[in-house]
Structure 1
Amino acid sequence: MTESETRAGYDAVAVLYADLFRDAMDDQHLERGLIAAFAELVRGPLPVADLGCGPGRVTPLLASLGLSVFGVDLSPGMIAQAREEHPELRFEVGSMASLDIPDASLGGALVWFSTIHTAPDDLPLIFAEFHRVLAPGGHLLTAFQTREGDAPEAFDHKVTLAYRWPIEALSVLLREAGLVELARVRREPLPEERLPTGYLLLRKP
């Protein structure tokens, strides 16, 4: 999908999306545990970015764990929702393909289902941006819909076309961008989900 199509899709559903997923993290105990571990790794003097933050459903959790965090999202509608619901936090409109963030300035980046709409051929550029903005020793935690096999597969996401990736295939792309894998997790679908989820934790040397 192009950025303009993704932006338009999320702008159109921003209010509904924020309402539906406002409390989604409350019962996701595995995810909260992974995010807590990520917070322990990245806690320090450098800020942390929630990239593809949507309406800010995870950003406040990161802040509650003691991080200096800000959110970035492609959709102005999503950013408007995030700013309205969490005025104490900083949210910016921006593209993961060209982040307005200085080189080597982040202690960590959370990428929570944020790259699923990116066409596979465009992911290396985005992963290179993640590597650029992370400081040496910085960590990245990403979540995505996963599948078995060797290649990504498109699926009918409710907002706009998306892709699910084998964990190893996505890890290869991130490693080629200069990041080192530390851990991977695969979770089976919850009753309300159709697809399994993958999580990767990586570090910039």
Structure 2
Amino acid sequence: MNLPNKITFSRILLIPIFIILMAVPFNWGEWDIGNTTLPISHFVGAVLFIIASATDWIDGHYARKHNLVTNLGKFLDPLADKLLVSAALILLVEMGLAPAWIVIIIISREFAITGLRLVAAGEGIVLAAGKMGKLKTATQMIAIACLLLHNFPFSFIAIPFGTIMLYIALFFTVLSGYDYFAKNWHVMRDSK
């Protein structure tokens, strides 16, 4: 396993720690920030989410720069993204910080793309993420990070930036899903 794949795998290993920090009611105290209260455990979980999200860019950049792109990496990287984003979104619904219907659409799109990738893999084709998918992932990660931080630093000026970004992420999620299927429909059409 090369270094980019190890970085990707470390992102997967951070997910249970992130879930525990966000879901277990630790009594570490809280901060009053602007118009909101931020539990310290949520702050630590959000920082961990941001670090895990940053590894998404680091592993891909390193793999391309040093010609270390592998089929394992093409499989693990989107899987790690989907697991991290899905876990965070489900936690946000549980915490009352994200509407369930948006989370259902985002996760449904991820299942649909995974299904398409599985059909392609059965035909010996590896479908890598495109630019639209990367934009979708970036907007999702920004929205999630801001919501996990209870809209900090925008809580001082009472702009629901996290919620606005979540709607933008929803737009790019649907658009990139359509784009992905439109460009790769031949895989479904021509599968045996």
Shared fold per TM-score greater than 0.5: no
TM-score range, shorter chain: under 0.3
With CA pairs under 8 Å and 6+ residues apart, which has the higher RCO, 1 or 2? 2
Normalized against structure 1, the TM-score is what? 0.24
**TM-score normalised by the chain length of structure 2:** 0.25
Which structure is higher in helix share?
2
